[in-house]
């Protein structure tokens, strides 16, 4: 069955449909690319890809199938998938299903047998743009391009409200086979995880370091968080990754601004990816949309404090203007070496850290795992010791 991807610039590519075929799907979304060689299931279930059609540049996809352990959220979050070749057979002892069936059950249309590298070069040259993926042969190429042109823009889009949890809830999912067992203690420090689209492995890293994790909705009450911190019921705040334009998530920015105000207690806070952007905006900085974003597991970042270069996992389409950081209270700590964009900062007046990448590395290298160590050390310092 033929499938087409039409871009807003008039480009139309044809390939073979798989996944949720035969349903007349005409899915319009922003088209982005990811250069990772592994981890396609983690990427497809990452809430940060909400509202996007994902192009994978690795030439063979589906070769290790899918399993229940590598899911990063409640299910597949992408709007569509584009790859060079779908593996005819999967082979891995952890696999419980094949990629084709997995996408079909998730209602997501996918396509292969196209030159994804050529498509990526176009998106790099002209910037990511809206597109439509469809296996509906009754629709002309011109109509698909028109649909792509009318797709909603990622700028101004608040997708965090779509992917956040609805109510506060304890998160105690098993650590899985790749994690050391977390410390079990009634005196474990409590971290509130502001859920803007949190990946499971971000929370697992906190649990593995001996924290109790409680997810809270994106539109949380800052006054209630402060009250719980002062009462010793909460010991730190984690602001998660997530999709969309950070400037559109105004309620989180306002709540974080209150947590960071001069008269607020000095609560340890860590933000990653979207959380990094939201903490920067709450600190007075400005964000902008990148031409084609940073999406992959081989993104080089320099730790400006040590000079060490770290290879990181990233997935974002917006960035913070480093010149907009308030030097009276903020210090840049990390720089993306491909384009010089801000990859991390800290507050100099309180225990607040933020990085633009995914230190949980799911998928990706573990160079940046120390980010969790620094945050959790500060969180543990808020917990009274047991005599």
Q: Tokens 């696999």 — which residue?
A: 95
Active site residue 143: no
Residue pair 161/243 in contact by the 8 Å Cβ criterion: no
Active site residue 211: no
Q: Which residues contact 140 (CB under 8 A, 6 or more apart)?
A: none
Active site residue 294: no
Q: Out of 200, 276, 294, 358, which one is annotated catalytic?
A: 358
Handedness of CA 175, 382, 260, 293 (dihedral sign): negative
CA 386 to chain centre: 37
Q: Out of 3, 211, 273, 330, which one is annotated catalytic?
A: 273
Tokens of 334: 């990390």
Q: Which of 209, 267, 282, 206 is nearest to 235 (CA)?
A: 267
Q: Out of 42, 200, 360, 380, which one is annotated catalytic?
A: 360
| CA dist list (Å): 344 to 12, 148, 235 | 38, 34, 22
Where would I find the beta strands (DSSP E) of 58-128? 60-61, 80-82, 85-86, 109-112
Rounded Cα gap, residues 311 and 302, in angstroms: 9
Residue 341's φ and ψ, nearest 5 degrees, are -75, 160
Rounded Cα gap, residues 131 and 61, in angstroms: 21
For the annotated catalytic residues, the residue numbers are 273, 358, 360
């Amino acid at each position: 069955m033929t499938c087409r991807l039409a871009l807003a610039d008039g480009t139309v590519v044809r390939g073979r449909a798989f996944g949720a075929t035969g349903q007349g799907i005409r899915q319009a979304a922003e088209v982005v690319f990811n250069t990772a060689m592994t981890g396609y299931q983690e990427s497809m279930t990452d809430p940060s890809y909400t509202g996007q059609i994902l192009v994978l540049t690795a030439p063979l996809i589906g070769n290790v199938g899918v399993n229940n352990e590598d899911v990063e959220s409640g299910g597949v979050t992408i709007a569509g998938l584009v790859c060079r070749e779908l593996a005819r057979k999967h082979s891995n002892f952890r696999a419980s299903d094949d990629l084709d069936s997995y996408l079909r059950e998730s209602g997501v249309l996918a396509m292969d047998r196209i030159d994804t590298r050529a498509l990526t070069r176009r998106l790099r040259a002209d910037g990511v743009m809206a597109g439509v993926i469809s296996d509906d042969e009754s629709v002309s190429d011109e109509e698909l391009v028109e649909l792509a042109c009318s797709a909603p823009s990622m700028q101004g889009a608040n997708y965090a409200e779509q992917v956040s949890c609805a109510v506060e809830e304890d998160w105690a999912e098993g650590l899985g086979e790749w994690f050391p067992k977390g410390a079990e203690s009634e005196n474990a420090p409590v971290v509130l995880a502001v859920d803007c689209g949190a990946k499971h492995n971000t929370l697992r890293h906190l649990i593995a370091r001996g924290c109790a994790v409680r997810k809270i909705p994106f539109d949380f009450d800052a006054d209630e968080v402060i009250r719980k911190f002062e009462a010793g019921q909460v010991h730190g705040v984690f602001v998660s990754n997530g999709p969309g334009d950070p400037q559109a998530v105004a309620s989180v920015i306002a709540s974080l601004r209150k947590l960071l105000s001069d008269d607020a207690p000095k609560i340890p806070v860590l933000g990653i990816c979207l959380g990094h952007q939201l903490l920067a905006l709450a600190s007075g900085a400005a964000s902008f949309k990148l031409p084609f974003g940073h999406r992959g597991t081989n993104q080089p970042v320099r730790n400006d404090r040590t000079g060490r270069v770290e290879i990181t996992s990233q997935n974002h389409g917006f960035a913070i203007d480093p010149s907009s950081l308030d030097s009276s209270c903020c210090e840049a700590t990390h720089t993306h070496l491909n384009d010089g964009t801000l990859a991390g900062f800290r507050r100099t007046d309180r225990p607040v850290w933020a990085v633009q990448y995914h230190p949980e590395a799911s998928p990706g290298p573990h160079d940046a795992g120390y980010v969790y160590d620094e945050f959790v050390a500060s969180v543990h310092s808020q917990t009274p010791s047991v005599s």
